[in-house]
Amino acid sequence: MENMRLKPGLVSVTMRNLLPEDVISLAKRAGLHGIEWGADVHVPPGDVKNAFSVGESTRKSGLSCACYGSYCKMTDEERADGVFESVVNAAKSLGAPLIRVWAGNRGSKDSDKSYFSEISENASRIGDLAEKHGIRIAFEHHGGTLTDDAAYEARLLQAINHPNIGALWQPPVHLSATERLEGLKLISPWLSNIHAFSWQGYERLPLSDNEEEWLSYLSHASSTPGERYVLLEFVKDDDPQQLLRDADVLLGWLRRTASGVKKWN
């Protein structure tokens, strides 16, 4: 893959019904480079032995552990329960360079100054904790959290101002393609990995159905400093064969992006 700024990968929860070894085999067959391992099924926090085993199996197959997909929400309750330490230990055992987290469990319109401060302070805490192990933290761009709006997310990241904390991006389904691209541009200074899927409303489509807009996203991401993964997620019908088709499409787009194809600039 000539465009090493954007590397193709898979979010493991896309195939949450498969065992880790089968996810690895499928990703390898698809020509992908890395896997974001999810905490909900494949690599639960607290089981460091399993995390180490999955990480070793991933690397032995020639793939990388792109990220640890935790569902840590940065709340005071989680901090008190030792969730931060458990998540970081799992990522360390897995060998993941990045941990995906949520910015709370309230939408930006339902938050107040106190909640904004709670999430900001706890993000800094886990950012410090992960940094000791060479692991970065990134907020998922997700509804029902403080990162449900790109402008609000940029404000949150500016307030936290932590060198070890960045942002993931995925296309918000309720926005137009133009609005999505503008949101991506807003959080680009903090951009880590991208989750790639094609939806119409909440209907899953083949990735190829939204080619023009995805080429615009990838063109912008490729011009943003640093390297990152573009990780396939939400495959139509949870079908492994559709994953193979979507991976082939993604690989083609990354080649075109590397060659300078640009859309909607």
Instruction: Give long-range contacts, CB 8 A cutoff, 24+ apart: 221-225.
Output: 221/5, 221/6, 221/184, 221/188, 221/191, 221/194, 222/3, 222/5, 222/6, 222/257, 222/258, 224/188, 224/191
Query: Domain spans of the chain?
Result: 6-98+177-258
- CA pair distance 262, 56, nearest whole angstrom: 38
191-196 and 203-205 beta bridge pairing = unpaired
CA distances from 113 to 76, 117, 120, 265 (A): 15, 6, 10, 36
In this structure, how many other beta carbons lie within 10 angstroms of the beta carbon of residue 226? 10
Q: Which CATH architecture has domain 6-98+177-258?
A: Alpha-Beta Barrel (3.20)
Average pLDDT of the residues in 219-239: 95
Q: What is the pLDDT of residues 169-194, one digit of tens each?
A: 999 999 999 999 999 999 999 999 99
Q: What is the pLDDT of residues 112-164, one digit of tens each?
A: 999 999 999 999 999 999 999 999 999 999 999 999 999 999 999 999 999 99
Q: For Cα atoms 154, 177, 182, give the angle at the middle one, nearest 5 degrees.
A: 30
Give the predicted TM-score (pTM) of the model: 0.95
Question: What secondary structure does DSSP assign to 60-109, as a single string?
Answer: HTT-EEEEEE------HHHHHTTHHHHHHHHHHHHT-SEEEE-S-SS-GG
- What tokens does 29 get? 């067959």
Is 3 a residue whose pLDDT tops 50? no
Say what the pLDDT of residue 156 is.
98
Q: For Cα atoms 241, 169, 98, give the angle at the middle one, nearest 5 degrees.
A: 90
Beta bridge partners of 67: 36
Q: Which value, to the nearest 10 degrees, does the dihedral of the CA atoms of residues 205, 190, 182, 74 take?
A: 70
Say what the pLDDT of residue 234 is.
93
Is 264 a residue whose pLDDT tops 90? no
Average pLDDT of the residues in 203-208: 96
Beta bridge partners of 137: 99, 165
Question: What secondary structure does DSSP assign to 183-252, as a single string?
Answer: HHHHHGGGEEEEEE-EEETTEEE-GGGGHHHHHHHHHHHHHSSS-EEEEE-S-GGG-HHHHHHHHHHHHH
Query: With bands split at pLDDT 50, 70 and 90, how would you rate the model's confidence at 202?
Result: confident
